[in-house]
Amino acid sequence: MSPGLRSGILGISGLLPAGAMLATVLWEYSASPPAAALAGGFALAGVIAFSLADRTAPIIFVLVGIAMAGAAVATRPDWFEGTWTAVERGSFVVALYTALTAIRIAAMGSGEIVECGRFLAGQRPGLRYVALTIGGHLFGLILLYGSIALLGSLAAESTAREADAELRRHRLRRMLVAINRGFAATLCWSPLGFSMAITLTLVPGADWSAVVVPCLLNAVLMILVGWGLDTVFKPRLAQPAPVRAVPAGGWLLHLRPLLLLLGAVVVGVALLHEATGVDVIGAVMSFAPIVAIAWIWLQGARMPAGRLGHVGHRLGEFLGRELPAYGGQIVLLFMAAFIGSLGAFLLVPLTPRLGLDFSVLPPLLIVVAMVWLVPLAGQLGMNPILSVSLIVPLLPSPAAMGIHPAALVAAITGGWAISGTTSPFTASVLLVGSYGGVPAREAGLRWNGPYALLMGCTISVWVLILAAAM
C-alpha cells in the first residue's frame, strides 16, 4: 500500500470508532437491532482500516480471529449468531474505549490537571507513596492508562534532577510502583474501566450497583497492602536523603480540577442512570463525551478562536489525528474481545466431550481460581479482556453455583487488577517499565511480584467470605 493511500485511510479512520460509539449509545437507550448492527459494522470497518493502514496494528490477532471465524463456519450450524455476538462484544469495547479516550485527551490537555499531578509527585518522601497511590487512583478513574503516562512522566521529571544515582533509582521505582498500584486498584470497581464493563456483561445477574461495595473494598485492600509493603521494605540508603521543600498550597486547592472533573462525571452518570434506566456502563459511555466537550469549551475562553472555535478545532483533531493514533490499540482491544467471545462459543459444546464439567467443581474453588487465572494468563501474553471473555462463559452461572454474583465479579476484577501490576504485556506495566528504564517483565514481576502474591491471597480470602456470607 502506498504511503499516500495509507495516510488517506488513517485520515478518515477516526470516524469509524466514533460511529461505533454513537451507534452503541443509541442501542443502549433503544435496544434497537439496527443500532447494534450499525455499531458492529462501524467497528469492523475500523478494524479493517487500521489493519491495512496502521503498521502498529497487531495483525497476528486479526489472523487468529479470521481463522476462528472459519472454524465456526465449518463446525457450527449457528456460526453466524456466535460470530456476530463476538463482533458485538468487540464493538462494545471499541465504543467504550472511544468515549473514555475523549475525556482522557480533554483532561490531559488541561494545564490545571498537569499541575495537580506535579503537586502529587513533589510531596516529601514520607507522604509521596500515599499521595501518588491515591493520585494514581483518582487520575486512573478519568485518564485510565493516561494516568500512568501523566504521573509517570512527572515522576521521571522530578527524579532526573536528583544528583545521587542510588537515591534517584530507588525514588523513581517507588514512585512508579505507587502510581501503578493506585491505577490498578481502579480496575477492581470503576464503571469507567474495561474490567467492570466486560465482567458485568459476562456474569449473569451482575449489576454494578449490587457489586460496587465489595469490589471497592478490593481496591482499598490493594492501596493499604501496597502502602504497608512500601513502609516495611523501605530501601536502606548509603547516605541520608536530603530534606526536600514541601510544595506550596493546600491539597484541596491543587486537587480541585481533578475532583471537579470526577464529580461532574459521577453526578452526571448517576442522574442519567436514574432518569433513563440505562445501565451504569451505558450512562458512562454516553456522558463521558459530553463532559469532554464541556471541559474543552471551558478551556476555550483563553483561546484566540473562542470557545466554539476551540471545540471545533479539538473535535477535528480528535477524529482526524488522535483517534487514528490509537489504531493499533483499538484493533488489539476489538480482537481480544472477539477472540475471547468466539473462543468460548467454540469451546462450550466441546467441554462435555473433553470430560470437562465445571459444574462439578466446588463453587468456592471456582471463585478463588478466577483471582489467580487472570494474572497467570497475563504472564502468557493473554490480554485480560481475552482471558475473561474466554473463561467466564465456560463457568456455571452464580445462581447455579448458589453464590451471589458479587463474589464472582470481585474475584474476576480483583485478578484483573493484579494482572495490571504484573503482566509484562499490559499497557500499565509496559509504561512503568519504560519510565523506569527497565524491561516490562522486571517492572511487573520483580517490582510487584511479592505484592501480587500477597494481594492474591488477600483477595482470595475476601471473595471466600463474600461467597459464604452473601
pLDDT confidence band for 239 (50 / 70 / 90) = low
Picking from 130, 298, 120, the residue whose alpha carbon sits closest to that of residue 228 is 130
Mean of pLDDT values over 379-400? 93
pLDDT-above-90 percentage for the chain: 55
pLDDT confidence band for 4 (50 / 70 / 90) = low
pLDDT-above-70 percentage for the chain: 93
pLDDT confidence band for 397 (50 / 70 / 90) = very high
Mean of pLDDT values over 268-272? 91
Mean of pLDDT values over 204-214? 92
Mean of pLDDT values over 13-17? 90
Mean of pLDDT values over 255-261? 87
47/373 Cα distance (integer angstroms): 29
**pLDDT at residue 357, as a whole number:** 74
Amino acid identity of residue 359, one-letter, is: S
Mean of pLDDT values over 203-215? 93
Structural contact between residues 198 and 388, judged by C-beta atoms closer than 8 angstroms:
yes
Q: Is pLDDT above 80 for 109?
A: no
121/129 Cα distance (integer angstroms): 9
418/338 Cα distance (integer angstroms): 23
Helix (H, G, I), strand (E, B) or coil at 247: coil
Q: Provide the grid cell at 186.
A: 481502579
Q: Is pLDDT above 70 for 293?
A: yes
More confident residue, 354 or 409: 409
pLDDT confidence band for 303 (50 / 70 / 90) = confident
Give the gyration radius of the chain's Cα atoms. 22
**pLDDT at residue 163, as a whole number:** 67
More confident residue, 253 or 291: 291
pTM over 0.85: yes
pLDDT confidence band for 249 (50 / 70 / 90) = low
pLDDT confidence band for 243 (50 / 70 / 90) = low
Mean of pLDDT values over 371-380? 95
**pLDDT at residue 231, as a whole number:** 86
Mean of pLDDT values over 287-312? 85
- What are the boundaries of each domain within the chain? 3-235+250-469
**pLDDT at residue 115, as a whole number:** 85
Q: Provide the grid cell at 463.
A: 471473595
**pLDDT at residue 463, as a whole number:** 96
Residues written for the chain: 470
pLDDT confidence band for 352 (50 / 70 / 90) = confident
Q: How many CA atoms lie within 13 A of 415 on its CB side?
A: 29
Picking from 215, 126, 225, 153, the residue whose alpha carbon sits closest to that of residue 182 is 225
pLDDT confidence band for 108 (50 / 70 / 90) = confident
Mean of pLDDT values over 372-392? 94
Q: Is pLDDT above 80 for 32?
A: yes
| Cα-based angle 20, 40, 33 (whole degrees, multiple of 5) | 100
More confident residue, 284 or 54: 284
Mean of pLDDT values over 416-440? 92
31/330 Cα distance (integer angstroms): 24
Mean pLDDT, the chain, whole residue set? 88
Q: Is pLDDT above 90 for 14?
A: no
CA of 451: how far to CAs of 13, 174, 185, 187, 454, in Å? 41, 13, 13, 16, 5
CA of 70: how far to CAs of 64, 125, 179, 352, in Å? 10, 57, 43, 22
**pLDDT at residue 5, as a whole number:** 66
83/310 Cα distance (integer angstroms): 42
More confident residue, 240 or 37: 37
pLDDT tens digits for range 443-453: 999 999 999 99
pLDDT confidence band for 182 (50 / 70 / 90) = very high
**pLDDT at residue 396, as a whole number:** 92
Write the CB contacts of 105 (distance below 8 Å, at least 6 apart in sequence). 292, 318, 322
Q: Is pLDDT above 80 for 168?
A: no
